[in-house]
Each structure stands twice: as C-alpha cells, then as structure tokens.
Amino acid sequence: MRCFDPPFSGLTEGFGPLSARLVAWAKPNQSSVIDPVMRLPSYSHLLALPAGPDLLLRLLESILVAASALAAQRIYGDGVNAGCDSAVAAFAIVFAWTAFPGSYMRPSARRASAPRAILLPALGWVLCEAGAVCLVRWMHPGYEPSGAWLAALCVPTAIGVTVCRLAGRIAGARRIRGSSVAVAGRGARCAAFVRRIASTRDFPCRIDALLDMDAGPDTAASGVPLFHDIGAFAAHVRAQRVDELWLALPLTDEAALLQLLDIFRDDLLNIRFLPDVSRVARFHGDRAGLEGALAIDLVAVPLTADALAVKAIFDRLFSACAVVGLAPLFCAIALAVKLSSSGPVLFKQRRQGAKGKPFDIYKFRTMRTHSTDDGVLVQATRDDPRITRIGAFLRRTSLDELPQFFNVLRGEMSVVGPRPHAIEHDALYQHVIDDYIHRYRIKPGITGWAQINGLRGETDSVDKMQRRVEHDLYYLSNWSFALDMRIVLATIARGLVHRNAY
C-alpha cells in the first residue's frame, strides 16, 4: 500500500533493483499531511500469523479473578482482612499480566495440544494467586486467610479460566477454517511449498488456489485449484473472497511481482511476499522455505488484532454511554424531524464497511422526501432547497449523525475511523485516487482525522477527495488509542459545528 514505507530499505543494497522498485512502488506521494515517520509493516514468520484478539481473553480472565476474590471475601472473609484479600487479587492479576507475556502477545507457530492450551493457563492463574497470597503474608505477617477462602478463590478461577480457554480454542479453530490463502509462484518448488503447507497439521490457514507462472506440467498439490493464466487466477481469488495472497517468487522476478501487485491494487486482501532465499541461504535452505520463511507484509491491515480489540471495547462502551446519556436529545430531535415534514424520522443509505461489506448507515432525516434515480447521487449543496429548516440545523451541528451510534453498537462502524462515503463515490474514486480502497481495511467511523481537520461537506472535486483520503491513510498509519481520544475530544470541542457542514 503506498501510504506505508515498506521494510525493504535494508535489502536494497544487497538485492538490487527488485527491492529498490518495491520501495518506489510503496512510497506515498509527498504531502503536507503525511508524517515522515510512519509505522512500518511488520516482519513475521510464516507460521506465526495473527491468531486473534487474545487481549480480550486476558481481560475476561482478569475480571473473572477479581469477581472470584470479591465473592470469596463476601462469603468466607472478614472485615479485618478485606484489604489483604483485595491485595491478593490485585497482585495475582499483575503477576499473570507480567509473567510469560510472550505466550499471550505472540501466538505460537502451531496450535498447542488441547490439555496444554486449556489446563496450563488455569494452573498458571492458580499459581499466581498462590504467589500473591505468599507476598501479602510476607508484607503483612498477621494475615491468615482461611482454607475455605482460598478454595472459594482458586476453584472458580480454575474452572472459569478453563471454560474461557476452551471457548477461545473453539473460536480459534473456526478462524483457522475460515482463513483462506492463494499462492503465486513458479514451477515445482512453489508446488512443493504448497504441498508441505497443506500437509502441516493445524496450519493456521488453508490454500485455496495456486498460480504457477511457468507453463510446465501441472505439479500442484491435490485438491488445490491450479492456474496458469493470471486473469483466471485473479477472477477466482475475487469470486472466492480469498483473504490473503502469498507471492512465493524469487528475488529476481521483479516483473511478475509488480504485475500481481498492480492487478490486486484495488482489492481488500492482504499481500505477503515470501522471497525464495534458497540460493543465498548458506545452511538449512530447505527449512527456510517453510518454517523459517520470512513473510514481508506488502499490503495488510495496519492495525494489529490487539489494537482492533481495544477499539472494539472502547466503541461499544462509548456508544452505549452516548445512547443512554443522549436519549432525551434523541427523542427531541426525532419529534422535531417528524413535525417538520412528512416522512420517516431516520434516513438510511447503503455504505461500505470493513473489508468492503455493505451496511445501512443511519441518520436523522434532514431533507424533504423526494425521488432519486438508481445509481445517481446528488450531494447536498449550500442552501439546498431540499433541506428542511430543522434539517439545516441538524446538519450544521452534525446532530443528524447521532443515530450512527446504533451502527457502532451493531458492529458495523467505529467511533473513530475513515468516514464512509456513498457507494457511488466509492465506485467513482476507487479507480481515480491511489489507495482509496484501503480506507475500508478497518471499520468506518462517526468522526475521523479528516473531519477534525476541516475536510467535511461536499466533495465536488477530485482534489477534495484526495485530501480526505490522504488524511485517512495518515490515521491508519499512525493509529494509537491516544490519537483516537484526541479525535474524540476535538470533535466534541470544535468538530460539531463547521462552515463546511451544510
């Protein structure tokens, strides 16, 4: 994706024209809104692909331990040791979050056996609780927890963590079955690579298609569709909605690599480059083709699974609070809209969400009901006669956007993210503006970086849309929870009313 500086700069000197061309292909156009220090795509081992939002599982387990400690204190505790009991729960959670962080933050190459994946975490939490009791007793020698209290703390923790891990393993198995990959390469080496992956037990994806760019005999793995024509291969990938494309090509095959990148430039699939380093690897060249394979993200979701989990938690909590707290305002606006003109209170329009999945966005109706031609979008302009007086106020203050908190609660939108454009605009600008499609790699937002920087209202020129896209890609490249909070606060403080909102 052009908005990212890929990690090829270190390879340029050693591997020559290919890495230099990739750097040129992936560099963004220079713009005042682009920070020169961008987040780099991650290097990862092929078998250590993201396994999902484990952060949610850890948070759930921590809540479970805190609830078990509270229940044990209420049933078997006494008022004298209440503070020490709370300290035990707090220390146990701290120990669990700091001990062996790698097992939580980075998934292993292969899925562990069921007993190891389910029972060991439960045992680990119990040991953390035992260590916390020892620490509190050392700090406070008079602390003597009863056996009933300890049992009421440890037994629910072990059972609850086991249930959580079992549910997480079932969900992980479903993710594995649902992750599909297409591989493009050359000759027998690429086919052997696919066969080895297909035969690997519990590999975190499935191979759905193979493109052999050599016109030799068919050597693909059994059961994997084989293509020699790039056009047919691309059509299959799009029809089957394949999740990722792996380019298992030699370092010297610059033309094929750039051709595939260009063909899939407007598709929302992750693209990884798996260079064939067998000719330059001094030892264990065969192993480097699979378990030690280096996967370089060329086009990928810019936010990690944990970052997406943090955004999802914040979205649901913030939206629930907003809906409850603003309920009187919702009712007042709905009544005003209904009395202002005939028609429904809410206006629905089809938009694209994450990964291009369409959904209906909700707004308070601000225009008089009127007929429109299918596929023709007429944007609101300043002093548009279709807008009611109440609608003009709602649009000027952005209060017409409030029903989108229901879209967030439904999981279709985020509080902060690139604003979703009309389907007609997507069809128009996707092939005009570079990297436009990558705005939809995450959920669209109610507000965003472009909106607080004044890029709102009518987009009657390519230049206006280009600036919005540049700001959206900057947000994706530099996301942090602090940036989301900054955008939310800026929207509340100065983003509700703007001269471009009409």
How many whole angstroms separate alpha carbon 296 and alpha carbon 272?
A: 5
pLDDT higher than 70, residue 470: yes
Determine the average pLDDT of the residues in 445-469: 84
Provide, rounded to the nearest whole percent, the portion of the chain with pLDDT above 70.
71
Amino acid in position 6 = P
Give the pLDDT confidence score for residue 175 in this predicted structure.
55
pLDDT band at 407 (very low <50, low <70, confident <90, very high): very high
pLDDT band at 59 (very low <50, low <70, confident <90, very high): confident
pLDDT higher than 80, residue 399: yes
Q: Which residue has the higher pLDDT, 469 or 296?
A: 469
How many whole angstroms separate alpha carbon 389 and alpha carbon 105?
A: 53
Spatial contact of 65 and 89, defined as CB atoms under 8 Å apart: yes
What does the mean pLDDT of the chain come to? 76
**DSSP-assigned beta bridge partners for residue 273:** 247, 296
Cβ-based neighbour number of residue 221 at 10 Å: 18
If you write DSSP's letter for every residue of 276-310 in order, what string do you get?
B-TTT-SS-HHHHTTTT-EEEEEE--SS-HHHHHH
pLDDT digits (tens, 9 = 90+) for 258-272: 899 889 988 888 888
Give the pLDDT confidence score for residue 39 in this predicted structure.
35
**DSSP-assigned beta bridge partners for residue 447:** 416
Give the pLDDT confidence score for residue 122 in this predicted structure.
84
Q: Which of these, 168, 61, 59, lies nearest to 111 by C-alpha position?
A: 168
pLDDT higher than 90, residue 322: yes
To which residue do tokens 């009863």 refer? 146
pLDDT higher than 70, residue 431: yes
**Four-residue CA torsion sign, 311, 314, 318, 321:** positive
Q: Which tokens sit at 201?
A: 């037990």
Q: Which of these, 244, 133, 257, 132, lies nearest to 197 by C-alpha position?
A: 244
Q: Which residue has the higher pLDDT, 450 or 20?
A: 450
Give the pLDDT confidence score for residue 187 in this predicted structure.
76
Give the lowest-confidence range in 136-145, 317-326, 363-372: 363-372
pLDDT band at 123 (very low <50, low <70, confident <90, very high): confident
Half-sphere exposure of 71 (CA within 13 A, CB side): 13
Domains of the chain from N-terminus onward: 1-41 (no CATH), 54-176 (no CATH), 179-299 (3.40.50.720), 305-495 (no CATH)
